[in-house]
Amino acid sequence: KWESFIITVIKNPLPNVPQALVIVGSDARGTAFGVFEVSKQMGVSPWYWWADVIPEKKSAIFIHGTQLNGPPSVQYRGIFLNDEDWGLQPWAAKKMDADIKDIGPNTYAHIFELLLRLKANYIWPAMHPCTKAFYYYKDNAKLADKYAIVVGTSHCEPMLRNNVFEWAENYKKEYGTDPKEWRYDLNKEQIAPYWQDRITEVKNYESVVTVGMRGIHDGSMPGPKDINAKVKLLETVIEDQRKILQNTYQKPINTIPQIFCPYKEVLQLYRKGMKLPNDVTIAWADDNYGYITQLSDTKERQRSGGSGVYYHLSYWGAPQDYLWLSTHSPSLISYEMTKAFDFNAKRLWVFNVGDLKPAEMELNFALDLAYNINKWQPTNAINYSEFWAEEIFGKAFAKPIAAIKTVFYQLAQEGKPEHLGMINYSNEIADKRIADYKGITEQSEALFTKMPDRLKDAFYELVLYPVKGAYLMNQKVFFAKRSIESAKQGNRDALTYSRLSEAAYKSIQNITNTYNKNIANGKWDGIMSSHPRDLEVFKMPKVATKEMVDSNKNNLSNTIANIKQPTIILATDFRNKKNILGKNITIINGLGISGKGITVLPFTALSSDTLHLEKVPYVDYQITLSKGNHSISIKALPTHSINQEYKVRYAISVNGDRPQIINLEAEASSKIWSKNVVNGFSSATTLHTILLDTISTIRLYILEPGVVINQLEIL
């Protein structure tokens, strides 16, 4: 069996040995997983080094009885170190691999150990321009082999080549001549040998080879402008790459692990009819914001190569980065990745974790899920925070930490700290956000004072810093906005808001400095940036000045616009529900803007026929509505259709009127999609005429799996 192990006690295994603890693995990694499982049960967290979780001293150690574990649910499970320019790379260059001033063997040794302790086996190494290629330092590959870590490369690094460094910077040093254009149809004579040399170099190491081609970095493949010609070129590229692999490894091509990642524009080429060899694993991607864009259809699920997922816990790109704090909830990760697993994405999961810190808990959850898909289904994933907190901080702290995390994730779903400048909150909502953040920050600070000294550093890194950082960012942005609004009215409260915003900005710098300089005696100096990429949202915003207030003092007004507010019904507050033909409406806690939502399970249920709504599961809501016209806005998780056999549809009727069919699908990278992922929801509005003042019944049909309804807003 793949990566399996047993831990047991054997009596009298040898002369004069009354009993022995025995760990047996089915292979090297299985054995390592078994050893580290014993270590974990002894009280050593996988994060003992990376998050300073110092074990408690014990007078005796007890191990559970016979334990059989494995094989893992997903075959290859790992991470992508990415966007390391402001954290991991400068920190490693200063604190870990100072001799080469880069991410090198000393850093990777700790990363590889962490992966094994988390029962993972796979890595896409760091590859930004600030970092030299993984294979440039020969000890890196040797170290991966020593730890039995499988090495792959990202969607824009085919054939294990880091083009940002190895083609754009180091090609002349390696080959003695300048590289020509990165275009396969015009420069095969340079590109093919460049790929061949890497495969030859690593043929004795365990790898998963990315096939296909994109730009030198994260851009589209140079080539013909015609999309059909581009598809043909990509097919040729993969055909030639596979010849290199087969000739080098000297074994059947279907035994050499390969992935193809239809990421961003490559998905459009694939959808255009690109022919992909049956044994190549398709690594489906999310939309960079945690919502998977496509999974295998009925025919694709029969492919021998199967499929996997490339999923972001951190991202640099439009509509706005989220590189500072890690805010995807376990419920969201479980919903999307369990859906993927149920559609046969079982071969490979790789998570973009940015600098690794501060995504510790989210990564821990993702890899736990990959190892055992049944343990953390969407219906119970909200309980993971308590499970994780108990493992690290002990039972006494588990429930309060879990409560803090639940609020933290919900607030981020409604607006990540990095995205606050893009969302137009009302003052009422902004005040509530600040109050909610204040609550969990004060709770975190109180727990910090009670935390044993050995765990204070860990608590600061894993709980207090992200919670307080998000709180301060909300204060900074919203108080700055309020100061300008008040100044335009000539209100001197504007200056108070200015001071509060400025104080929040300074506090962010202070807590970040504490993280870098004081926590763990300065061990993490350089890893935490309060302003990754120096984006505008991280800067001190414009605030009101005394001169601004004075110039508007004649405008002093307390007039508040009387805007009618909608009546909000949480999707989970239905009066009645009906499950039909094995399609079950299910409440998922911790998912979406309202903190919970309803969906149809199982994920593999077929899309419903709109001509036969009597066969579609539904929920009913009741509300008193006046005679006249009313609008009903549905807010839902901004998911994508599972594949081309599905859509993202619901149907709605009021008091038995003709149901209106709505499709919430928004193509990734579209303007609507950008708005959806920043706001944390997709939405649609329908109009309804009420004939009498009465208690009205709203019936909501969920037409397919993958749709999560969070709330109804009625005007």
Nearest one of 674, 639, 337, 324 to 512, comparing CA atoms: 324
For the residues 181-185, what does the mean pLDDT come to? 97
pLDDT at 564 over 70: yes
Q: Residue 564's CB: how many other CB atoms inside 10 A?
A: 5
User: For the domain 567-714, what is the CATH code?
Assistant: 2.60.120.1620
CB under 8 Å to 28, separation ≥6 — which residues? 148
Using an 8 Å Cβ cutoff, are 90 and 125 in contact? no
As a whole number, the mean pLDDT across the chain is 97
Task: Please list the residues that pair with 292 across neighbouring strands.
Answer: 286
Mean pLDDT lowest among 71-85, 123-137, 447-461, 553-567: 553-567
Distance between CA atoms of residues 156 and 283, nearest Å: 13
Percentage of residues in the chain with pLDDT exceeding 70?
A: 99
| Per-domain residue ranges of the chain | 5-68, 75-379, 391-555, 567-714
- What region, left, alpha or beta, does residue 609 occupy, with left being phi > 0 and alpha being psi -120 to 50 degrees? beta
Distance between CA atoms of residues 72 and 431, nearest Å: 45
Q: What is the DSSP letter of 374?
A: T
Give the pLDDT confidence score for residue 581 in this predicted structure: 86
Helix (H, G, I), strand (E, B) or coil at 382: helix
Please confirm whether the linkage preceding 378 is cis (ω < 30° from 0): no
Nearest one of 639, 712, 709 to 673, comparing CA atoms: 639
Give the pLDDT confidence score for residue 588 in this predicted structure: 99
Please confirm whether the linkage preceding 602 is cis (ω < 30° from 0): yes
Residue with tokens 């600030």: 130
What token pair was written down for 361? 């808990």
Fold for the domain defined by 391-555: Methane Monooxygenase Hydroxylase; Chain G, domain 1 (1.20.58)
For the residues 663-680, what does the mean pLDDT come to? 97
Give the pLDDT confidence score for residue 64 in this predicted structure: 79
Using an 8 Å Cβ cutoff, are 315 and 289 in contact? yes
User: How many CA within 13 A on the CB side of residue 476?
Assistant: 26
Using an 8 Å Cβ cutoff, are 512 and 449 in contact? no
Alpha-helix residue ranges (DSSP H) falling in 2-73: 28-41
Alpha-helix residue ranges (DSSP H) falling in 373-421: 384-393, 395-413
CATH of 5-68, one of 3.60.15.10, 3.40.50.300, 3.30.379.10, 3.30.200.20: 3.30.379.10
For the residues 538-545, what does the mean pLDDT come to? 97
Residue with tokens 């930490």: 401
- Cα angle for residues 57, 58, 59 (degrees, 5° grid): 135
Distance between CA atoms of residues 230 and 265, nearest Å: 11
Which H or E run contains 110? helix 105-117
pLDDT interval class at 557 (50, 70, 90): low
pLDDT at 562 over 80: no
User: How many CA within 13 A on the CB side of residue 306?
Assistant: 16
Sign of CA dihedral 415, 419, 424, 428: positive
Q: Residue 692's CB: how many other CB atoms inside 10 A?
A: 9
CB under 8 Å to 144, separation ≥6 — which residues? 108, 112, 123, 150, 151, 205
Distance between CA atoms of residues 546 and 205, nearest Å: 66
User: For the domain 75-379, what is the CATH code?
Assistant: 3.20.20.520
For the residues 343-367, what does the mean pLDDT come to? 99
Tens digit of pLDDT for each residue in 259-308? 999 999 999 999 999 999 999 999 999 999 999 999 999 999 999 999 99
Alpha-helix residue ranges (DSSP H) falling in 518-610: 546-551
Using an 8 Å Cβ cutoff, are 519 and 498 in contact? no
CB under 8 Å to 274, separation ≥6 — which residues? 231, 234, 235
Distance between CA atoms of residues 10 and 19, nearest Å: 5
Helix (H, G, I), strand (E, B) or coil at 377: coil
Helix, strand, coil percentages (3-state) for the chain, rounded to 5, are: 40, 20, 40
Helix (H, G, I), strand (E, B) or coil at 201: helix
Tens digit of pLDDT for each residue in 218-269? 899 999 999 999 999 999 999 999 999 999 999 999 999 999 999 999 999 9
pLDDT at 558 over 70: no
**Cα 307 from chain centre:** 18
Inter-CA distances, 638 with 90, 169, 293, 555, 594, Å: 35, 40, 11, 42, 13
Give the pLDDT confidence score for residue 63 in this predicted structure: 81
Mean pLDDT lowest among 65-69, 70-74, 567-571, 614-618: 65-69
Tens digit of pLDDT for each residue in 48-105? 999 999 999 999 988 878 999 999 999 999 999 999 999 999 999 999 999 999 999 9
Distance between CA atoms of residues 460 and 440, nearest Å: 14
User: Which pTM was predicted?
Assistant: 0.97
pLDDT at 560 over 60: no
Q: Which of 365-385 are b and which e, b meaning 16 or more Cβ less than 10 Å from the residue's Cβ?
A: bbbbbbbebeebebbbbbebb
Nearest one of 689, 695, 679, 706 to 624, comparing CA atoms: 695
Distance between CA atoms of residues 390 and 386, nearest Å: 6
Distance between CA atoms of residues 88 and 82, nearest Å: 9
Give the pLDDT confidence score for residue 556 in this predicted structure: 65
Tens digit of pLDDT for each residue in 329-354? 999 999 999 999 999 999 999 999 99
Distance between CA atoms of residues 412 and 434, nearest Å: 12
For the residues 609-614, what does the mean pLDDT come to? 94
